[in-house]
Structure 1
Amino acid sequence: MALLHRATLRPTKLDLLAAWLPGRPWFAGPAGVDLVSRGAYRFDDPTGEVGIETMLVGAADGPVHQVPLTYRAAPLHAADEWLVGTTEHSVLGTRWVYDACADPVYAAALAHAILAGTGQAEQYFEVDGRREVREPTVTVVVSDAGDAAVPPVGAVRRVVDEDAALISTDAVELVVVRRPGAADAAGPTLLGSWNGQPMSVPLAYARKR
């Protein structure tokens, strides 16, 4: 489960992405464009230390871009080139926001979500000591999964950041589709649908090394 906080962020996540996305080689759109959120989904960090959220964003009339993010209370070692920016969280304080493709916590969560078939985490707020579930804005399903014995992912050894970002780790290879669209799913695949995209499309793939 992913615990959310009713909080404000300065700058907001969309503000951070509006400044960062135009510098990515896979971004389709002009600099300075106003971004809108199409939806988001989360995975759970078993240690509860790192927030893991994947945002689907784009210009009002442009393609949707998939941006996995991790939120950390301190900088990730040797990952400056993957830093999206920092933001002030009204509950948690300063958060370092990273492109999650280079974050080993995200790689482990994505591999488990696909290979074990667990999908996304349930999101909830705590209100007066009780859980209040937040309905997801992206519906995620997994195809061709079912291997519960997911190997430890280990370190992220290499990231090839293109239209399909390739993440190589000690135990698995992962592919994150940066601009999701119609495509065939082959092998264990994370698929998603959202408002404006009623049919599920591939979001990510996983395979053991």
Structure 2
Amino acid sequence: MALIHSATISPTKLELLAAWLPGRSWFTGDPNVRRLGAYRFDDPAGEVGLEALIVRSDGPVLHTPLTYRDAPLAGADDFLVGTTEHSVLGKRWVYDGCADPVWVAAAASVVVGDGGQAEEIFATDGQQQRREPSATVAGSGSAGRSPVIDAVTCHDDGGTTVVRGGGVELVVVRVVGTEISVTDTLTGAWSGGSGVLAGIR
């Protein structure tokens, strides 16, 4: 379950992306992107926020996994998207999810069919209610065992990022529509679009 607070965030997630995207090898176009949808995973420990935004400006649709932490992630300075002030949770360190073992473990779990996306619960004025996600994802695996991932390495490869950890190789599609050769996939759908977002090979 992902608990989402009614809060202000400064800078916003899209503002963070506007500053971060121009430095990515797989990015072209105007960095002032608009959000098409988003999905979330659960952190079993309940400590790290796990979200992936589907965005677009004047170029292709992009897939941007992010993690939100209440303290810096050791050894991940090169993958810091930025910091933001959350009116409820305080300062948050926002990382590229491909470099965060918590996001990678959650994504791999869904790909192999041993998990699903998080149920979104919106909290406001002391009340909680379920919210429909703006993007849905599903893995093609058939209840395989989730890999244990506590450290990762990653590098960009064309329109993808290749992540290794826990004995698996997760290929994360950055530029939606990029073809990948994998055994199991994570497929997403959002208003006006769909596509393969990741896979394991």
TM range (shorter): over 0.9
Q: How does 1:128-167 map to 2 (within 5 A)?
A: 131-147=128-144, 149-156=145-152, 158-162=153-157, 163-167=159-163
Q: How many residues align?
A: 200
1-structure distance, mates of 2:180, 2:19: 32
Determine the structure 2 residue equivalent to 1:87: 84
Determine the structure 2 residue equivalent to 1:168: 164
Determine the structure 2 residue equivalent to 1:57: 55
Is 2:194 the partner of 1:204?
no
In structure 1, the gaps of 5 or more residues are: none
1:152 match: secondary structure: coil
In structure 2, the gaps of 5 or more residues are: none
Deviation at 1:35, TM superposition (A): 1.2
Deviation at 1:132, TM superposition (A): 0.5
Deviation at 1:184, TM superposition (A): 7.3
Q: Work out the percentage of aligned pairs sharing the same amino acid.
A: 54
How has the CA–CA distance of structure 1 residues 41 and 86 changed in structure 2, closer, same or farther, with 3 Å as cutoff? same
1:161 match: secondary structure: strand
Is the contact between residue 6 and residue 123 of structure 2 (CA under 8 Å) also seen in structure 1?
Answer: no
Q: CA RMSD in A?
A: 1.8
2-structure distance, mates of 1:167, 1:178: 12
Between 36-45 and 137-146, report the one with greater CA deviation.
137-146
Q: How does 1:28-107 map to 2 (within 5 A)?
A: 28-30=28-30, 33-59=31-57, 61-107=58-104
Is the contact between residue 145 and residue 188 of structure 1 (CA under 8 Å) also seen in structure 2?
Answer: no
2:162 match: secondary structure: strand
How has the CA–CA distance of structure 1 residues 113 and 201 changed in structure 2, closer, same or farther, with 3 Å as cutoff? same
Determine the structure 1 residue equivalent to 2:14: 14
2-structure distance, mates of 1:80, 1:116: 31
Matched AA of 1:21: L
Is the contact between residue 113 and residue 139 of structure 2 (CA under 8 Å) also seen in structure 1?
Answer: no
2-structure distance, mates of 1:165, 1:188: 16
Between 123-132 and 169-178, report the one with greater CA deviation.
123-132
Is the contact between residue 119 and residue 190 of structure 1 (CA under 8 Å) also seen in structure 2?
Answer: no
1-structure distance, mates of 2:25, 2:178: 21
Deviation at 1:185, TM superposition (A): 7.4
2-structure distance, mates of 1:50, 1:161: 23
Question: Deviation digits for residues 145-198 of structure 1, max 9, x if unmatched?
Answer: 321x22312311x2112311100003221110001127477521110111121x
1-structure distance, mates of 2:132, 2:166: 34
Determine the structure 2 residue equivalent to 1:181: 177
2:78 match: secondary structure: helix
2:65 match: secondary structure: strand
How has the CA–CA distance of structure 1 residues 186 and 170 changed in structure 2, closer, same or farther, with 3 Å as cutoff? closer
TM-score, with structure 2 as normaliser: 0.92
